[in-house]
Structure formats: structure tokens, C-alpha cells
A and B are shown apart, each in its own frame.
Chain A
Amino acid sequence: MNAHRIAIAAFLVVVVALAVLPLAADKFYVQLFAKIMIMAILAMSLDLLLGYTGLVSFGHAAFYGAAGYALALLTPQYQAANFWTSFPLAVAASALLALVIGFFVVRTRGVYFIMVTLAFAQMLFFLFFDTKIAGGSDGIYIDVRPVAKIGDWQPFRLDDFTHVYYLALVLLVLTYALLRLILRSPFGRVLAGIRVNEQRMLSLGYPTFRYKLACFVISGALAGIAGYLSAVQFGVVNPEMLGWHLSAAVMMMVILGGMGTLVGPAIGAAIWMLLELGLQSLPSAGGVDFGKHWQLLMGGFIVLAALLLPNGLVSMIAVLRNRKGGIGG
């Protein structure tokens, strides 16, 4: 068996394991893993920018939150929105936002890109935090979840946590497949070329601005899928969804798992969410409530990870395997 077959087998095992999980686990774990899968979609969407195109976006939460807010604003009070219209509209809202923000940020490079993406995301954060649109700083509840009716037939119910779980699983697999297709296409090759040497791609006659902008929009739209799912799962949207702490967390997920691998960021999302949960349930020690102040340890973890894990966990596995085979790293 070669490495490619092992990878496909492992992928199938994970998907099947995720598919049967709700049969065995109780509500808490089903919801936790649904949340992890939502974060995995978000992390993979960022990997397209970060790992494949070399655009370090520090404002990715904006597109995640935008779709959530779009659903909140599309939901009439005390009534349900229609899933089949609200889902594409919410994703389109994220894509449109990415188009507008991208139009400005894609002109910049390197450290400017990092700062500008963060600044525009924070602008959106303050727009929802300071004004009374959709509940201001408290956020807004989506009391009645969207209904997915086709005529009289209702294939799934979004107020059922198991159905939300399966919807997240299906969308996770679809997002992964779509990204793989994009990356394999000539378009994906151009993105890789831009990452390695943008000047060269320009000289070859590729309008790199347009390619980067298109990539930014696709990435934003996929982040919107995650944001919509999150709003549906918990029935609440708040400015935190747009905030830079989430943007940084997604970046960590991508780095942890390994940039430019797609599977890596998904694994990174799982590690991150479980780590967060673990740290939050820490007891008090020496007069300090570590469970309450879990971000202290999370911060220390990020510092160490940035120092010690330049290419993520996936690369660690590769390094270990090479050592075993005697090739050496």
C-alpha cells in the first residue's frame, strides 16, 4: 500500500467514524463534534489563503460572522427563515463582503496585508458592537431555526442537534472536495505560483490581483458556510463571531495542523477545540483559578507552538516517519 492509499483509507475511516458517532455518543459530544466540524470548515477555508496562496489574513472571522448576522437579519421575528434561500444568501453575503474588503486589502503585501485585514475585520466588529443593528454588543438570538422544506417534505430539521451534526458533516466533506478540486485546477496552480513568486506570475502574464481577489472571495464564502452553521447550531449571533480572537484562533488551527495541507487545519481545529475545553475545565491551583483564566495557558501554548512548530503537526509526522525510514530530516 502506498502513502496515497493509506491517506484515502484514513480519510474514509474518519468520515465513517464521524457518521456513526451520534449513534453512540450523548448530546454533549454530538454538539462538540458538530462545532469542531464547523471550525474545521473555517480552518480549511483559511488554509486556501494562508497555506496555498501565501496571504496571511488576520481578519477571517469577519466572513464567518457576516454569514451568521445575515441569517439573523433574514430571520423574521418569531418565525422561521427558509433554509434553501437563507443559506445561499448568507454565503453570498460573506462572499460579497470578501469582494469589497478584498478589493482594498489584496493591493497590499506582507505585513501590511496582516494589519489591513485585521483593521477591516475590526471595523465590521465595531459596526455591530457600537450600533444597534442586530442587538448591538449583546448579539441577537435566532429563536426559530430555519426550516428546510421542499414543498411539504422536510428532509432535515435544524432544531434537531443530530440533524445539524449531519449537515455539518456533509458540508465539511463537500467543502473539502471543492477545495481539492480548486487546488487541482489550473486556477489552483496559479495560486500556488503566486505564493512562491508573485513577480514571476505577473511576468508570465497572469493578472495576479484578480486571482488573489477571486481566492479571497472563495475563502470568504466558505467561511460563510461555517458561520451560517454556527448560527444555526446555537441560535445566537454576537460580535465575538467577528472578533480578532476568533481570527487568531483559526490561524492557530491552520498552523497547528500544518499549512497547505487542508487535512492538517481540520485536525488542528479538533486539537484546538479540545484543548480549549480541557483548559477551561482546569481546577484552581495556588490561588489562581486556571479554569477561569484558561487563556493564560492558551497564550503560553501559542507562544511555544509558534517557536517550536514551524510547519505544524502534519510535518512532525512526516519528520518522524522519515527518521524511522532512516532518511533523516
Chain B
Amino acid sequence: MDFFTFLIQVLNGVQYGLLLFLVSSGLTLVFGIMGVINVAHGSFYMIGAYFAWSLSEKLGSFWVALPAAIALTVAIGLVLEWLLIKRLYKRDHLYQVLLTYGLILVFEETRSILWGDDVHGVSIPAILSASIPLTENLSYPVYRLWISAVCLLVAGLMVWVIQKTRLGMTIRAGAANREMVQSLGLNIELVYRVVFAAGITLAGLAGMIAAPVSAVFPGMGNQVLIVCFVVIVIGGMGSVKGAMVASLLIGLVDTFGKVLHLEIGGLKLLPELSSMTVYLLMAVILLWRPEGIYGRRL
């Protein structure tokens, strides 16, 4: 593997990792702040991608579709929290898992009824469709760099909101002691609703910007969900920093698992078993730190 091929794979790994971060940070925030495990989180990745595809077709432009899709996802999040999720705060994790699993079935079938079961593609917007030439026959698409940039921007924005703003202060206080914040006269219910909507919109946004490079297909959310679980187990539940470190780790491990060749005693391991690599990484972390790299001790 020469330098430029290696560079491309590193960039791919980082881009995939950052995208994973966008999805898993939403999941970890909702859990860390509200104590709700949302199994349907991956569905919003799928919904985001389908919104991006369907609205780009209807509105004619990815750039018009993007804000519209974000607005729709936020609206779904607000309604969902008000209708169902708020009833889960005091419930056992088991019921949170079941209810949100039920939502997965509802979302998947609604998607199937509205948009069918075909695989779709979204074309890369013209302004980002160029490629940066690296050598004579190797180049790197600008759109992938743009994905990474958007993810980093959102990550920065998120840290700023949580650490530096009044809303962030309320959110952190609410995570520590819900009743106390409420008795101080702050509308914690509204804060939770906003946090939930923001959390799923992070997943939705990831689906939207990933749509042009990955296809839009049924079940795409569930694949992402499982990998996000691995991210959170490795990084530590509720930790945004952990989600970032683990996402990048998994992005790189998964990408290199698919391109490296590994054979031990004639037994082909990589890339044949590349879908196992991230789980093996998780197993190692579990032996070392069962609560994740940045998780609180259990």
C-alpha cells in the first residue's frame, strides 16, 4: 500500500468515523441527559436519508431539501417526545427498549408504504462534485471532505452549546437533578423535548449528508444503530468525548479491515471477516474496561 492509497483510506476511515459520531452522539446525549435508551435512533438515520432523497427529487435541489428535511426531523422529534418518549423517563430500560423497538417497526413499514422497498441514489450537489487529484489515477472526492467538515462543525457547535450557553447549563443541571431544576422554575419538560428532538436530528442529519455517498435503502438505519451501540460501549455511555474517540477508532478499524489482507496459516481472515473487526474491538474493550473508555465506573 503506497502513501496515497493509505492517505485515502485514512480519510475514508475518518469520514466514516465522524459520520458515526454524529449518529452516536445523539444517542449518547439522549441517554446521558434523559436516561432513555432509544433503539429507534437508527431509524432517524434512515428517515433523514429518505427525506434527503425524496425532497431533492421534489424540490429539485439538495440545498433546498436539506433545511426542509432538518425541519421535518425536528418536528417529528418534538411530537414523538410529547406523545410517547416522556412517558418512558421513569420506566425500566426494558420498556424503553421495547417501546422504541415497536417504533422501528412502525417507521420501517411506513417507509415501505410511502416510498417502497427499492434502493435509491441521491446525486452529489454540483458545487461539491469535484475530485482532488492526488496522483495520476488516484483522486479524492470533495464531497467526502465536506461531510467530515460538517460533522466537525456540528461537533464543535454541540460542545459550545452544552458547555458555554445558558441552555447547555440547564441541560447539564437537568441531567444531574431533574426535580431541583424544575423547582427552580425552569421548564425542564421543554428542555427534554428539545434535547430529544436535537438528538434524533443529529442522526437524521447524518443520514441526509451520507445519502449521496451511500445508497438510500431499507434497513439502513438498523445497520448504523448496531455500530452506534458498539461505539457507545467502547466510548462509554453518556460521554460525548468517548463517542468521538470510539467513532474514529471504529471508522479506521472498519475501513482498514476491508482493505487489508490478512492470512494466518492459509486461513483467510481479512477482508473476508471484516464485518467482525469492530465487534472484536468491542470484546477487547469489555475485558479491559467494561464501562467504556470514558464511562463512569460501574
Binding site for B on A (CB under 8 A): 50, 56, 58, 104-105, 107-112, 114-116, 118-120, 122-123, 126-127, 130-131, 244, 248, 251-252, 255, 288, 293, 295-296, 298-303, 305-307, 310
Contact = CB atoms under 8 A, between A and B. Distances in A.
A295 B287 contact: no
Interface in B100-132: 101-110, 112-113
25 contacts: A56-B94, A58-B97, A104-B286, A108-B290, A111-B93, A111-B237, A112-B233, A112-B237, A112-B290, A112-B298, A115-B233, A122-B226, A127-B273, A248-B101, A251-B97, A255-B98, A293-B112, A295-B109, A296-B109, A299-B102, A300-B106, A302-B105, A303-B102, A303-B106, A305-B102
B1 interface: no
Contacts of A307: 84, 87, 95, 99
A115 B286 CA distance: 12
A47 to B, nearest CB: 13
A296 B110 contact: yes
Contact of B105 (A107, A115, A296): A296
A211 to B, nearest CB: 17
Nearest to B37: A111
Nearest to B107: A299
Interface stretch (B13-21, B48-56, B274-282): B274-282
A296 B98 contact: no
Contact of B98 (A112, A122, A252, A298): A252
Given A252-B98, A296-B105, A126 B276 contact: yes
Contacts of B273: 127, 131
A255 B94 contact: yes
B232 A115 contact: yes
Contacts of A310: 91, 95
Interface of B: 31, 37, 84, 87, 91, 93-95, 97-99, 101-110, 112-113, 222, 226, 229-230, 232-233, 237, 272-273, 275-276, 279, 282-283, 286-287, 290-292, 298
Contact of A306 (B99, B229, B282): B99
B286 A108 contact: yes
Contacts, number: 121
Given A56-B97, A299-B104, A303-B103, 5 more contacts: A107-B287, A118-B229, A127-B275, A298-B105, A307-B87
Instruction: List 5 tightest A-B contacts by C-beta distance, closest first.
Output: A299-B105, A302-B102, A296-B109, A299-B106, A306-B99
A56 B178 CA distance: 26
A114 B95 CA distance: 12
B55 to A, nearest CB: 23
B193 to A, nearest CB: 18
A107 B93 contact: no
A301 B102 contact: yes
Given A108-B286, A126-B275, A303-B103, A295 B108 contact: yes
Given A104-B283, A299-B106, A130 B98 contact: no
Contacts of A306: 95, 98-99, 102
A111 B229 CA distance: 10
A107 B98 contact: no
